[in-house]
Amino acid sequence: MHVLIDNEFFQYSNLIEEILPKKSFEKSFFVGTELTTSEIKSADAILCRSVTKLNQEFIKDSQISVIASATSGKDHISADLINSKNYQTFFSSGANAWSVVHYVMAVIETLITRELFSSQKSVGIIGHGNIGKRLGKTLSAFNIPWHANDPFLEDENLVDLETIFNCDLISIHTPFTRQGEHPTYQLINKNNIKSLTNKIIINTSRGGIVDEKTLLQGESILYISDVWENEPKVNELALKHAYISTPHIAGHSLDGKKGSLIEACKFIRTAKLLDKIEYSHSSLEASKIITFDTFLNNFHAHDFPLGMFTSEFPINEISDEFKQACGKNFLQLRSSHPQRRDFINFNFNDFLNRDESVDKFINNLVRLRG
């Protein structure tokens, strides 16, 4: 099987080789934004990212029958490909969920540091899928009250959008859709923007879910965004209007990227060899991220261990750099994003048995892995 692979994954060649050994898989690399029809002619499978747009017309003269995207989002692959019986398609949904949760928690940590939020305030989660569920569990571990909305799920604990909009902070975790009973395109729009006065909005889903033109009129909304309409060309006004602006890197932790890649490679392997292979992430000593004394002091002073998320993920520095370049460094910042780790893989053994309240909190974090 000939597999065409986005060259951003070249740095993980050894990992790819373990899952897709050369005795069964011929591999070649392509530039994600510059894929041509001549490159795909001899390929049987493609391993791509969200920057590569694919539809039946583009691949009709190729041998491609397997499409694996190391992403959660699906809007770069046309519906005719996804729904066709002639193609096997795969998306790494949930593989980088903890990375996105880490992003949201890094934002919350920043807001607490600047006295713009506290653990007594409420969070509304729009979308209760892979990311939304994990975020809710994480907030519970930090004793932060939250509600969730998802019109596609039947769960008596879920609430309506009005309840979500009454929360102090709203975090968006929905797919981007234009059709259907509950389209998410411009979910935040001119009809409901007034109900979000003095609220905080975090968008890590897709840019079009929030109407950026309407947002610019909402001066009292504190907007944090990792996603933008018309990426990689970012609306400079929206970029500078946002309190924190980042170039679509919420899911770009080392664990998130490798996890998404591993799942996509496993799908391609199964399509060819019909077997399964298991992988797990290594842990990172929490003491390398934050000292116990700092952790303890902040935990008691703020009901939140300041530094736990931002020490590994300098979100403010990234935002400043992104804004200073007026968004023109979007792709460069994405490709050079630090090899950060997700908090879910931190090892807190060195922090145990030193403070009873910290022990209880860490045990809550450990249970999140279950």
Q: Just list the catalytic residues.
A: 206, 231, 248
Pairing between strand 2-6 and 45-48?
Answer: parallel
The CA–CA distances, whole Å, from 299 to 113, 118, 164, 268, 359 equal: 12, 12, 27, 44, 12
3-state helix, strand, coil split of the chain in percent (to 5) is 40, 15, 45
CA gap 349, 362 in Å, rounded: 9
Instruction: State both tokens at 228.
Output: 């933008």
Q: What would the two tokens of residue 248 be?
A: 């679509």
Please give the structure tokens belonging to residue 115.
């006295």
Residue linked to tokens 């922090």: 351
The upper half-sphere exposure of residue 6, i.e. CA atoms within 13 Å in the direction of its Cβ, equals 21
Burial of 38 (0-12, 13-18, 19+ CB in 10 A): exposed
Rounded to an integer, what distance in angstroms lies between the CA atom of residue 101 and that of residue 10?
26
CA distance 249 to 42: 32
d(CA 65, CA 70): 17
Tokens of 112: 């607490």
Amino acid at site 128 = H
Q: In sequence order, what DSSP letters do the residues of 35-95 get, joined into one string? A: --HHHHTT-SEEEE-TTS-B-HHHHTTS---EEEESSS--TTB-HHHHH-TT-EEEE-TTT
